[in-house]
Structure 1
Amino acid sequence: MNTSIRRLLLTVIGAPAAALAVWALAVPVAGTALTVRMGDGTQSVGPVPVVVASLLAGLAGWALLAVLERFVSRPGRIWTIVALVVLALSLLGPVGSGVGTVATLVLVLLHLVVGAVLVPGLARSAGAGLRADHGTAADVRTPPRSFL
């Protein structure tokens, strides 16, 4: 398996693993009631939504990086900027929906931990972008000369 594909897979799998570790420390170990407001009621945040949400974030980030590598010359830089903006915007969710200060802090921490794994991990995996697809003039080989 290619090293960059392995790194991408480890990053995308590492984000849910890190989020699940934070959830396990906060909820079962520390006894935090991790609940969010959903419409008129509240809902408990269990391990499955934590893993699914962080896995989807990783896969979406990977997909965006693949598109950027295909169409722009500096995909890693652009991806990092977009990812940091999305991470900052995602923090609005826990701030507005967490039930209680501790639950809100744990939810924010979950977002930050997933971001801390995905942003550098996927940015480091970024390819050369357009430069990899379109060679320079020096890359074009001239046909061999005929001695006739």
Structure 2
Amino acid sequence: MENTMPTVAARPNRRRDRLLTVFAAAVATLLGWLVAVPVAGVELTARTGSAEQRVTPVAVVVSTLLAGLAGWALLALLERLTGRARTAWTVVAVLVLLVSLLGPLGGGAGQGATVTLVAIHLVAGAVLITGLRRTAAR
């Protein structure tokens, strides 16, 4: 007897993959903080106006999680609005990353802090952009 049941193609679990991407980005930036601050001894502070504020591991993780969730939300919205969501989202994500670099470039307190903050931003951007882009509808 012939099998008449339709074959269901294994569709990637987008929600799971996107969640893992956001968590991977948070872990990657936390590792960057751990290498820079306790291991390399960088005093990671950022200028906020006329004051300086120490950048904590909690701040790094929370900021990365918020950026990742915002990127995920934008990708999901674009997937509902356009057939070119992947391309549109990638362009926006790269632009947001570039704009985000203005913060550490102008606000790092010292060369070590500036380099570290830029590196953390680039790590977060690389993980989020490549990971979330991979899950976008084609």
TM-score (norm 2): 0.89
- Alignment partner of 2:127 out of 97, 101, 117: 117
**Are 2:55 and 1:45 aligned?**
yes
Tell me how many residue pairs correspond in the alignment. 127
**Are 2:107 and 1:94 aligned?**
no
| Structure 1: gaps spanning 5 or more residues | 129-148
Q: CA deviation at 1:3?
A: 1.9
Q: CA deviation at 1:95?
A: 0.4
- Alignment partner of 1:22 out of 21, 29, 32: 32
**Aligned alpha-carbon RMSD (Å):** 0.9
Cα distance per residue 1:39-95 (max 9 Å; x no partner): 221111010000000000000000000000000011111100000000001000000
Q: CA deviation at 1:4?
A: 1.6
**Are 2:102 and 1:67 aligned?**
no
| Sequence identity percentage | 56
- One-letter amino acid of the counterpart of residue 20, structure 1: L
- Match of 2:103, SS? helix
Instruction: Return the alpha-carbon distance in structure 1 between the equivalents of residues 14 and 73 of structure 2.
Output: 14
- Alignment partner of 2:113 out of 103, 109, 112: 103
TM-score (norm 1): 0.84
Q: CA deviation at 1:5?
A: 1.5
Greater Cα radius of gyration, structure 1 or 2: 1
Instruction: Return the alpha-carbon distance in structure 2 between the equivalents of residues 31 and 120 of structure 1.
Output: 30
